Amino acid sequence: MKNTTLTMSFNTERLDALTYHMGKKEANLQAELKDYLQKLYEKYVPQATREYLDDRIAREENARPSRPNRQRNADRQSEDRGSV
């Protein structure tokens, strides 16, 4: 499954103040928003739907072919050239 980027507007001065004070507490705005979005998902999406989506995502990730290692490909090309 692919991810979607969310965009929202917020007062610039308030955002600056928020990031400044979060930084003092070593908090990360993006991480906090991601955690909160996950909590909203768990609150409003029924358990059965979440389980279905989790299973579907896992199957898609397992079905993806693994990317070949670039070094292995380079080694194979070198071997092919050497045998000519």
2 within domain boundaries: no
Say what the pTM is. 0.67
Residue with tokens 């050239």: 81
- Phi–psi pair at 21, nearest 5 degrees: -75, -30
5 within domain boundaries: no
26 within domain boundaries: yes
4 within domain boundaries: no
2/7 Cα distance (integer angstroms): 16
Is pLDDT of 69 > 90?
no
Give the model confidence (pLDDT) of 42-55 as tens digits.
999 999 999 999 99
6 within domain boundaries: no
43 within domain boundaries: yes
Specify the number of domains making up the chain.
Answer: 1
19 within domain boundaries: yes
Instruction: Check residue 80 and give its pLDDT.
Output: 63
- Its domain, for residue 18, covers 12-63
58 within domain boundaries: yes
